[in-house]
């Protein structure tokens, strides 16, 4: 079941990455703070709603009393780290949206996300005190080479902002910290609660979503408040945002349950494969752009969006570059598989 949940999570991630890039450049006015606020608020609400439904289907006993007890007394030593885990994911989300606002090629972000497992594995080795073998170093070298190579291939066609930058490093760094922490914390929670994996996750999850809502602090920024006042004039986008947030929240929801049943290593490997789907979405969008350009169409319909055709010029990638990208994607995946 853990494998299936994680595969669903990976597909949801692929859809989310592709759609978020389109939304940031259009609806969110290329302002990552707008996207961070909406995703934090709606993501937390939808996540808590999904947790309620999960309690109805799989929970045991009085949900409210168990959740409240988890946040009291000695359990604070576990509930506070759960909130911190949610904050880490929120910071990952912030870095991710800043990447989307500056990076032309969506798959560049997906490759960075996919490369994260190697750093997770490395940190876990350091924590356990194990010695790095030659294969460990080869895996790291191949994965990082694939990541850097993809970035350079994106620059080959003149894409702007494709160099590795601080937001991209934030995606990797915060994502690594989250996966390492959750792999350590969940077994401890299960032991202290004397509960099954699913039950322990249900008890702890509301605290995770509370931390996930950290991004609503961007409301203090004037431009975000102006944006919020105007979004209700675009109802068709609001419905689309709700759909995308459901998909996005499902990624974290299914990933969380996947982590409760299989190791963070396997979760990271399965999730990393989403780059193939994202790359294929990029091919599709590039094809839509070429058709629209040849037909002199001002707007292009992509995945339910009607976007200005000129906004999609970053997807106009040569066949030579596409081949290079495919090679570096395979290198990244090979590096993950090589890890002993």
The pLDDT tens digits of the residues spanning 238-290 come to 777 777 777 776 776 677 667 667 766 677 677 777 888 888 888 888 888 88
pLDDT > 90? residue 85 = yes
What rounded mean pLDDT belongs to the chain?
A: 82
Q: Residue 86 domain-assigned?
A: yes
What is the extent of the structural domain holding 54? 2-137+163-273
E-strand ranges in 206-329 read: 299-302, 305-308
Domain-located, residue 220: yes
Note whether residue 325 is domain-resident.
no
Query: How many domains does one find in the chain?
Result: 1
Number of neighbours of residue 156 by Cβ within 10 angstroms? 14
More confident residue, 105 or 71: 71
Query: Could you tell me the sign of the dihedral formed by the alpha carbons of 187, 50, 281, 26, in that order?
Result: negative
Evaluate if residue 187 carries a pLDDT over 80.
Answer: yes
**Cα–Cα–Cα angle for 258, 259, 260, nearest 5°?**
90
- Residue 207 within any structural domain of the chain: yes
- Residues 121, 123: Cα–Cα separation, whole Å: 6
Residue 253 inside a domain? The answer is yes
DSSP 282-326: HHHHHHHHHHHHHTT-SEEEETTEEEEGGGGGGG---HHHHHHHH
Could you tell me if residue 147 is inside a domain? no
pLDDT higher than threshold 70 for residue 83: yes
pLDDT at 78: 92
How many percent of the chain have pLDDT more than 70?
89
* pLDDT at 244 (0 to 100): 73
CA atoms in the 13 A half-sphere facing the CB of 184: 17
Question: Does residue 111 lie in a domain region?
Answer: yes
Centre a 10 Å sphere on the Cβ of residue 294 and count the other Cβ atoms it contains: 8
Residue-wise pLDDT for 291-326, tens only, equals 888 888 888 888 767 777 877 777 777 788 888 888
Mean pLDDT within 52-66: 85
Cα–Cα–Cα angle for 109, 34, 256, rounded to 5 degrees: 55
Q: Is residue 317 part of a domain?
A: no
């Amino acid at each position: 079941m853990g494998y299936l949940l994680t595969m669903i999570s990976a597909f949801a991630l692929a859809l989310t990455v592709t759609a978020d890039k389109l939304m940031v450049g259009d609806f969110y006015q290329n302002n990552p703070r707008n996207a961070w606020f909406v995703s934090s608020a709606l993501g937390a609400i939808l996540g808590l709603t999904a947790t309620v439904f999960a309690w109805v289907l799989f929970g045991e006993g009085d949900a409210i009393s168990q959740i409240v007890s988890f946040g009291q007394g000695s359990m604070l030593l576990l509930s506070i780290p759960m909130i911190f885990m949610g904050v880490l994911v929120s910071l990952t989300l912030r870095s991710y949206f800043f990447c989307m606002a500056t990076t032309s090629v969506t798959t560049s972000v997906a490759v960075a996300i996919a490369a994260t497992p190697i750093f997770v594995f490395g940190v876990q080795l350091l924590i356990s005190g194990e010695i790095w073998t030659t294969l460990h170093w080869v895996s790291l070298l191949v994965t990082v080479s694939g990541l850097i190579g993809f970035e350079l291939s994106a620059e080959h066609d003149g894409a702007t902002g494709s160099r590795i930058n601080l937001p991209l490093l934030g995606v990797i760094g915060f994502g690594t910290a989250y996966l390492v922490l959750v792999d350590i914390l969940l077994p401890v929670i299960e032991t202290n609660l004397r509960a099954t994996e699913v039950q322990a996750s249900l008890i702890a999850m509301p605290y995770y979503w509370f931390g996930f809502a950290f991004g609503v602090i961007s409301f203090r920024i004037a431009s975000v408040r102006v944006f919020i006042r105007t979004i209700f004039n675009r109802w068709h986008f609001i419905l689309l945002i709700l759909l995308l947030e459901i998909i996005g929240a499902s990624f974290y929801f299914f990933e969380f349950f996947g982590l409760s049943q299989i190791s963070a290593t396997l979760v990271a490997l399965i999730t990393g494969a989403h780059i193939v789907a994202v790359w294929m979405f990029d091919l599709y969008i590039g094809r839509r752009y070429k058709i629209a350009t040849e037909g002199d169409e001002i707007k292009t319909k992509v995945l339910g969006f009607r976007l200005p055709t000129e906004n999609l010029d970053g997807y106009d990638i040569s066949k030579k570059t596409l081949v290079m990208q495919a090679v570096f994607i395979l290198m990244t995946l090979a590096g993950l598989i090589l890890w002993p």
